Amino acid sequence: MIRATTIREVREAVQQARREGKSIGFVPTMGYLHDGHLRLVDTARRENGLVVASVFVNPLQFGPNEDLQRYPRDLERDAHLLMQHRCDVLFAPSVEEMYPRPMETVVDVARLGQPLCGRSRPTHFRGVATVVAKLFHIVGPDRAYFGRKDGQQVAVIRRMVEDLNFPVEIVDVPTVREPDGLALSSRNVYLTPEERAHATVLYRALQWARGRILEGVRSGPELARGMAEIIGAEPGVRMDYAEVVHTDTLEPLEHLEGRVMLAVAAYVGKARLIDNLQLTIRGDEVLE
């Protein structure tokens, strides 16, 4: 595995692979890798000749009072895991390499960045879209892999790619969970054992809503209210939102039809956790 820290190094590795006729798969991450990230790498490995993963804790996507300083980091462990999963290039740039001077140019996917997580993190998706645009220009992948766990992020990136004509296929990969349903997240390390137990309420709320949908409920507000009640009743958990939206437009749905995302977020101890469930509904039919 090539370990690149500069833009020049990663471009050279990609150009060499292109000369060999290989397709390029790219997995952007903030590191502290877990099986969710590695599922993206495995998927990219199956579908591409060269796999590039980036590890970069992007300051631009953190708000002033968020966890940028204490975000977990372990680059040596990440490198080892990526090697085991047959990644070809690890791109781990410094903040100075990515942002040699303050950014004058940003990418703002205006409306899609505002609802859901955008309400408590108003500059977050601008930071995400900007760094992903930079990384796409640096790596030049054919396909880029994102976790469905961050459903709003996938919607924002897909729209950016469409609006700005990036020649990249966005592949979303199903959420990897612990046996009790908790979605894997680098931020789960913030949880005490007690908080860890309460954190499963996000998954339990989503599963409750899924059950109601399978029983025939199609009212978005009814399902959102029910999920909010379940999360609100959990000790040690402060709900941020519980919503039922269209998977691509993120607009709240009165009536469930088409691509539907049930999305939840809550503060548990020091962590802010998110989760979602995506379904396609055609009348009585529910596709998972």
What residues are labeled active site? 37
Q: Does 150 bind ligand AMP (CB under 6 A)?
A: yes
Q: Is 99 exposed, middle or buried (0-12, 13-18, 19+ CB in 10 A)?
A: middle
List binders of ligand AMP among 249-268 (CB under 6 A): none
Residue from 130, 185, 200, 276 touching ligand AMP (CB under 6 A): that is: 185
- Exactly one of 147, 202, 239, 261 binds ligand AMP (CB under 6 A); which one? 147
116 binds ligand AMP (CB under 6 A): no
130 interacts with ligand AMP by CB under 6 A: no
Residue 55 phi/psi, 5-degree rounding, is -125, 110
Task: Pick the binder of ligand AMP from 4, 37, 78, 244 (CB under 6 A).
Answer: 37
| C-beta of 28 vs 220, nearer to ligand AMP | 28
CB 122 within 8 A of CB 65: no
- Of 157 and 256, nearer to ligand AMP (C-beta) is 157
Residue 241, interface with ligand AMP (CB under 6 A)?
no
| 146 touches ligand AMP (CB under 6 A) | yes
Q: How far apart are CA 51 and CA 140, in angstroms?
A: 12
Angstrom distance (rounded) from CA 154 to CA 147: 8
Q: Mutual orientation of helices 124-139 and 151-163 as an angle, nearest 10°?
A: 60
Chosen residue from 10, 24, 38, 40 binding ligand AMP by CB under 6 A: 40
121 binds ligand AMP (CB under 6 A): no
Nearest CA among 237, 257, 239 for reference residue 247: 257
Footprint (CB under 6 A) of ligand AMP, residues 14-33: 29-30
Residue 272 makes contact with ligand AMP by CB under 6 A: no
Which residues make Cβ contacts (< 8 Å) with residue 258, sequence separation at least 6?
246, 280, 281, 282
Using alpha carbons only, give the angle 250, 256, 258 rounded to the nearest 5 degrees.
70
**What minimum distance in Å lies between the beta carbon of 221 and ligand AMP?**
27
Q: Residues 212, 226: contact at Cβ < 8 Å?
A: yes
Contacting residues toward ligand AMP, per CB under 6 A:
29-30, 36-37, 39-40, 146-147, 149-150, 173, 175-176, 183-186
